[in-house]
Amino acid sequence: MAIERFRWWHIAEVLPLEEELFGPDKWSATMFWNELAQRHFYVVVREDDEIVGYAGLAVVDEQESWVQTIGVKREARRRGLGRELLETLLERAGKRKVLLEVAVDNHPAQKLYASYDFEPVGIRRGYYQSSNTDALVMMRDA
């Protein structure tokens, strides 16, 4: 397993994984390009030369950062890769508080976040438009 920076040439390999992970809410290539162009902190996790997960963090200012995405290929789950990715983002966040949105019905992800002291701080109604699912906003204090 190796974690490395997500570069523009990884986008093509990540897109099918993005579709598998997020279905109708998937990001397009343009959205990934935008994230990288804004110099957000993105990483991929590789196993046997294959990208099996990725994650991104937007650092807003000295106080605040947001987890933009995190995902692990289905066959590679429950082996600690989600934790590795999240810990890499938290390390980059440093002393900043970290916020994120997660679907209210996404219990595996919420459990992962709760184990790193993220707490619910709000709800965004209908945030995931394809299914009209609410998002829970979670925050981890600096």
Q: Give 62 or 122: the residue with its C-beta nearer to ligand COA.
A: 122
Dihedral of the CA atoms 122, 21, 140, 58 (nearest 10)? -100
Q: Give 62 or 130: the residue with its C-beta nearer to ligand COA.
A: 130
Binding site for ligand COA (CB under 6 A): 21, 70-72, 77-83, 102, 106, 108-109, 111-112, 115
> Shortest distance, CB of residue 110 to ligand COA, whole angstroms?
8
> Shortest distance, CB of residue 128 to ligand COA, whole angstroms?
10
Residue nearest to ligand COA (CB): 82
Strand (E) or helix (H) holding 139: strand 133-140
DSSP track, 3-31: EEE--GGGHHHHHHHHHHHHGGGPPPHHH
> Shortest distance, CB of residue 120 to ligand COA, whole angstroms?
13
Cβ contacts of 4 within 8 Å, gap of 6 or more: 43, 44, 46
> Shortest distance, CB of residue 74 to ligand COA, whole angstroms?
8
